[in-house]
Structures are given as C-alpha cells and as structure tokens.
Amino acid sequence: MRETWRWYGPFDGITLPQITQTGAAGIVTSLHEIAYGEIWPQALIAERNAEIKAAGFTWDVVESLPIHERIKKGEGDLETLFANYRQSMANLAAEGIKTICYNFMPVLDWTRTDLKSPVSGGGTCLRFSAPKMAAFELHMLGRDAARDDYSADTIAAADVWFQASDEAMRADLLRSIMSGLPGAFDRYDIPQLREVLATYDGISRDDLRSNYKRFLQEIIPTAQELGMNFCVHPDDPPRDILGLPRIVSNADDIAWIMDAFDAPENGLTLCSGSLGANPINDVPDIARRFGDRIHFAHLRNVAKDPDGSFEEAAHLGGDTDMVALVRELLNAQAKRGVTIPFRPDHGHDLLMDDQIETQPGYPIIGRLRGLAEMRGVIAALG
C-alpha cells in the first residue's frame, strides 16, 4: 500500500517540507479555493502539481472534486455543470492525476459536534454527540421533525444540554458542525442553513439515488476515456441528519452504487472511520466484498456509544479490527496487481499539535502516530 498525506494547500498550516518528515510518499489534495461547479483550470492544477513535485512528492489522489448541490438535487438544466466537471477531469488527467475521491452527501461533508473532546492520557479528538446534534436540530434550527430521528433518552439529554448552554456554547456547536466543510465556501449561520436545507424539501432517498445514478452515467464514461478511477467516500456520519437522506452508509448502499454503473472506474474510497461509525457495518467484510473496486483508503478508527454518539479513537484502539482490515486491503491489491494508496485520517491532537493552525481533525503529530501504526501493521502483514 502507498502512504499518502492529506494537504490542504494554501489553507493548511502544515507545510510540504514538514510532511516530508512523516515519510509519506504521496499527497492527497484539492483546489479548495475554486467554487463548486467551476472548471479547475489546467494551469492552476499544473502549478499545484509542480509545487508538490518540487517538495519530492507525487499528487496521488484528488480529494475532492466537489459535486454541485444542484446535481445532488437534480435541479434545473445541469448540462453546464456536468460539462464543467468533465473538463476539470480532463485537465487533471492531462497533468497525470488519475484518482478522484468524492462524496455525495447533501449540504454537509463530515459532521462533528466537538472538535476538542478530551481523550484518556491527554490530547483531544473529534466527537459526534447524538444529544448535542439533537439539541442543534431541535432547539437551534427549530426542526421539530427531528424528534422522529432520535430516541426519547437522546432527546431528553438534548433538552438538558440546551437548557444548560449559553450563547458561546451554541456558537461553538454551530462552528463545529460547519468545520467539516473544507476550503473557503459554504459556511452557514442558522438562517442560511435553514434556507439551504429547505431546498431539499421533498427530496427522498429514492430521488437522491436517482440523481446520483445520473451523475455516474454522465461522469464514469469520461473517466473510462481518460483512464481515471472514481471512488466515492462513505457518509460521515453514516446516518440521515438534518432531515437529509444519506445513501452511502452501509454495504447495501455500496452494492447499489457499484451496480448503478458496473465498471471498475466506478469505485469506493474505503473509509474505515465513516463505515465504522455505523453499528451494522463489518468493515473488514466490506473491504473483502468490494476489494475489486477499492481505489483509495482512509484508515482511522472510532469508538461508538449505544446512543449513536462516537469519537475518533487511536488508529489501533477503536471498534474496528484494523489488522483484519489491512489484511483484506493487502489481499485485494495482490489479487488485482495494483497498489492502493491510503492516508491516515483524523488523528488526535497531541503534544504541540495545538500550536499549528490547520483543519480540524488533521494535526501533524496525531496523524503521524496513525501513519506509524498503520505502517507497522502493513509491514508485519506484508
């Protein structure tokens, strides 16, 4: 497996020379400064690629080439958006970048309620608290239908949290939920979030699937022509939130996607943390089942609570058997004769990590610990 590292370019407080010290060989990045739906200019791709090469790396994976919300909603004339997406693909391929990780999550990417939750022994981690998310939906957004999405005990805990909270705590909760969106676009306050959520009113799970299938039909043939691999990232968290359907949350969802356009180029980003947060998922079994379509892997671990809450665990310390998972990934790449790139995902903030301003969940020391642990597992199994 090939070691890579996610780098946020101009938005990242971690520099390429610092990443060199991790031992990773490849970079995973995106042009986060470009608005969703716009064409990625080849000149800008070439400039970023040259910067990465000058530091001694290769640009192995694009994460992500974002999908405009209108495509997810199937809204209006989409031909220009599809054409722009295909042109961005062609511009990336012209620079030798052939793997694209993306997601089909409506409105938000990964969602957490706490960015600095303490962990045993020191340090902090990302956490998703079901009661705090319920408090946000019920009391801050005023989405009363959310009462159907949480247990009575979770709603009671949400009421207690909200009644004890002040404006600063509520503002921090909103900031945490918005922090999963990378780059410079689409941060919402409460009125804006209500407005964008309203644009999804009436869009069902089946509707979202239909719009996703159209996306695959528009895009995968171009990927085939360009020799590119597309790999969808699972939902994070792998459950409906904010009244929005999530359709990449379990093995059945993945099977539907693979069948919606049955071609090797239509593949999966195996994110062990996202899938691992769903109690029904056996992550090593998912890797075994879909090994012929995994083009990229995010390796991290989570520890789950019975109420649906979870937090980022140490890479070898959560609920997923990471040794079994890595064994399945090594088997998959051996069968296919390929090398699967992976990156250590969401690490704990450790030691001096709080002194570097970077994206939440992406510290250098915490991820380096995860990379070292995964490197050891791979070496032992290899």
Q: Known catalytic residues?
A: 233, 271, 298, 345-346, 362
- What percent of the residues of the chain are helix, what percent strand, and what percent coil, each to the nearest 5? 45, 15, 40
Write the DSSP string, 116-182: EEE-TTS-EEEEE-HHHHHHIIIIIS--GGGGGTS-HHHHHHHHHHHHH--HHHHHHHHHHHHTTS-
- Token readout for 165 is 């909270």
Q: Are the C-beta atoms of residues 229 and 341 closer than 8 Å to each other? A: no
Cα(155)–Cα(137) distance, integer angstroms: 10
Strands, sheet with 124-128, edge to edge from the N-terminal-most edge strand: 114-118, 124-128, 310-313, 301-304
Helix (H) or strand (E) holding 223: helix 205-226
